[in-house]
């Protein structure tokens, strides 16, 4: 099972001091948090995508590439890649490039985001959000699995004889998780393609999470990708820890009470009772997260949100260290021991390559000139001249 952290890199005032980090400080903190995650044994660092204040995550590939150069093992993911407002061609190019540069340490969580104005900013209609998600991912999937694509849809210009470059590393695209909190259509989309389903349930009761995951598992089996238990599932999580639970509650309460995403809502006690948020000792976090598989079945990825609500960078680093040294080793041991033999491991590039080679044979990585006519129509192997306009 994979464990890691995710962030949306919000800039939120510290309610205990009033201090607001600069954009530069926030970006540098992401790099330090990711490198520490690898050092303490976590598997995944996932970065969200936003294009508006108070977030600094407008270019996930740039940030992840930089983190990739500072790490050697950490799997680099997105907490959301905006499949609705990004051009699928650019997603195909950018993440295949990142895949090559990091030796395959890349996957993605596709989502629609939670910022309504982003749609008109990028020339789209929010009322078409689900239709955009379906059509754009269909194109992205083809760009990664077909060398030459002819395509026409409703939301972008057609493609004729188009080849996205670079081609996926070892002929295997980055693994895709489809992220959704409340849309059954996205669970259906994930099941149709045999991809993963990531339910970021940090604000939701476990009954809702179970309902969404069960739908995905049923439809995954319906489409013939394996049994329901073999479907790839990921969950979100939140925790704040100190050695003594009362110290954790006292320290975290002002952050909870004043955070934009919490303030004015349920009390800290009600919220922790109804959602995955745990504020207490590392042992209490272990106890709560050992129960998740009882509700949704054995799953492959658990990510934690640690750097939110204005928590200072030093505190976040302490939380990541506690997560990696005191919580995850116990969860990993206990959950791996209980996992049935037919439940697959979390997807990795090496595992996906092995599965592909078992099906198709070894991949030939030689450059293929017989691909599309993206640029001028020039065929290097034939010596043709570029086409002139009629």
Report d(CA 202, CA 339) in Å as an integer. Answer: 24
Is pLDDT of 386 > 60? Answer: no
Q: How far is CA 18 from CA 12, 261, 262, in A?
A: 9, 17, 17
Lowest mean pLDDT among 88-92, 266-270, 370-374: 370-374
Report d(CA 321, CA 95) in Å as an integer. Answer: 29
Say if pTM beats, i.e. exceeds, 0.95: no
Confidence of residue 375 (pLDDT cuts 50, 70, 90): low
Is pLDDT of 379 > 80? Answer: no
Residue 390 lies in a domain: no
pLDDT given for residue 331 in this prediction: 97
- List the beta bridge partners of residue 3: 302
Confidence of residue 370 (pLDDT cuts 50, 70, 90): confident
pLDDT given for residue 390 in this prediction: 38
Lowest mean pLDDT among 92-101, 118-127, 280-289: 118-127
User: Residues 12-24: what's their mean pLDDT?
Assistant: 96
The predicted-structure confidence for 315-335, as pLDDT tens digits, reads as follows 999 999 999 999 999 999 999
Crossing angle of helices 206-222 and 184-193, in 10° steps, is 40
Residue 243 lies in a domain: yes
Q: What is the mean pLDDT of the chain?
A: 92
Spell out the residues 6+ positions from residue 362 whose beta carbon is closer than 8 angstroms to its own: none
Residue 367 lies in a domain: no
Cα 180 versus chain centre, distance: 11
The C-alpha angle with vertex 288 and arms to 201 and 35, in degrees rounded to 5, equals 70
End-to-end CA distance of the chain: 58
Q: Which CATH number does the domain housing residue 89 bear?
A: 3.20.20.30
Is pLDDT of 338 > 70? Answer: yes
Is pLDDT of 185 > 70? Answer: yes
pLDDT given for residue 111 in this prediction: 85
Confidence of residue 384 (pLDDT cuts 50, 70, 90): very low
Report d(CA 297, CA 295) in Å as an integer. Answer: 6
Residue 222 lies in a domain: yes
Residue 369 lies in a domain: no
Is 194 within 8 Å of 223 (Cβ atoms)? yes
Tally of structural domains, the chain: 1
Residue 337 lies in a domain: yes
Confidence of residue 376 (pLDDT cuts 50, 70, 90): low
pLDDT above 90 coverage of the chain, percent:
78
Residue 102 lies in a domain: yes
Q: Where is pLDDT greater, at 53 or 218?
A: 218
Confidence of residue 48 (pLDDT cuts 50, 70, 90): very high
pLDDT given for residue 385 in this prediction: 40
Is 240 within 8 Å of 279 (Cβ atoms)? yes
Residues of the domain holding 57? 2-360
Closest CA relative to residue 234, chosen from 330, 319, 111, 95: 111
Residue 375 lies in a domain: no
Q: Where is pLDDT greater, at 299 or 117?
A: 299
SS3 27: helix
């Amino acid at each position: 099972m994979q464990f890691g952290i995710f962030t949306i890199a919000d800039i939120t005032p510290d309610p205990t001091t009033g201090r607001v980090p600069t954009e530069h400080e926030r970006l540098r903190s992401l790099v330090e948090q990711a490198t520490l995650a690898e050092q303490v044994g976590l598997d995944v660092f996932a970065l969200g995508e936003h294009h508006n204040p108070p977030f600094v995550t407008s270019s996930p590939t740039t940030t992840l590439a930089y983190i990739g150069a500072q790490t050697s093992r950490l799997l680099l993911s997105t907490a959301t890649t905006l499949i609705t407002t990004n051009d699928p061609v650019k997603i195909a190019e950018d993440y295949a490039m990142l895949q090559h540069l990091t030796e395959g340490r890349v996957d993605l969580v596709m989502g629609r985001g939670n910022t309504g104005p982003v749609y008109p900013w990028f020339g789209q209609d929010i009322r078409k959000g689900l239709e955009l998600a379906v059509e754009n991912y269909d194109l992205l999937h083809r760009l990664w699995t077909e060398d030459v694509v002819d395509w026409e849809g409703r939301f972008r210009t057609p493609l004729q004889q188009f080849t996205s470059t670079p081609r996926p590393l070892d002929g295997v695209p980055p693994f895709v998780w489809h992220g959704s909190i409340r849309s059954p259509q996205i669970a259906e989309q994930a099941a149709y393609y045999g991809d993963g389903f990531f339910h970021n349930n940090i604000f939701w009761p476990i009954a809702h999470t179970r309902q969404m995951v069960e739908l995905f598992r049923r439809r995954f089996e319906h489409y013939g990708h394996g049994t329901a238990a073999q479907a790839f599932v990921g969950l979100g999580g939140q925790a704040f820890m100190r050695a003594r639970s009362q110290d954790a509650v006292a320290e975290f309460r002002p952050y909870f009470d004043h955070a934009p995403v919490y303030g004015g809502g349920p009390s800290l006690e009600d919220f922790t009772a109804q959602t995955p948020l745990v504020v207490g000792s590392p042992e209490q976090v272990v106890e709560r997260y050992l129960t998740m598989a009882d509700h949704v079945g054995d799953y492959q990825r658990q990510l934690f949100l640690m750097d939110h609500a204005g928590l200072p960078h030093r505190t976040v680093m302490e939380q990541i260290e506690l997560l990696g040294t005191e919580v995850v080793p116990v969860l990993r041991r206990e959950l791996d021991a209980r996992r049935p033999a037919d439940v697959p491991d979390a997807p990795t590039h090496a595992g996906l390559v092995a599965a592909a080679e078992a099906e198709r044979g070894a991949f030939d990585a030689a450059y293929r000139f017989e691909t599309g006519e993206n640029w001028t129509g020039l065929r290097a192997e034939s010596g043709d001249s570029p086409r002139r306009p009629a």
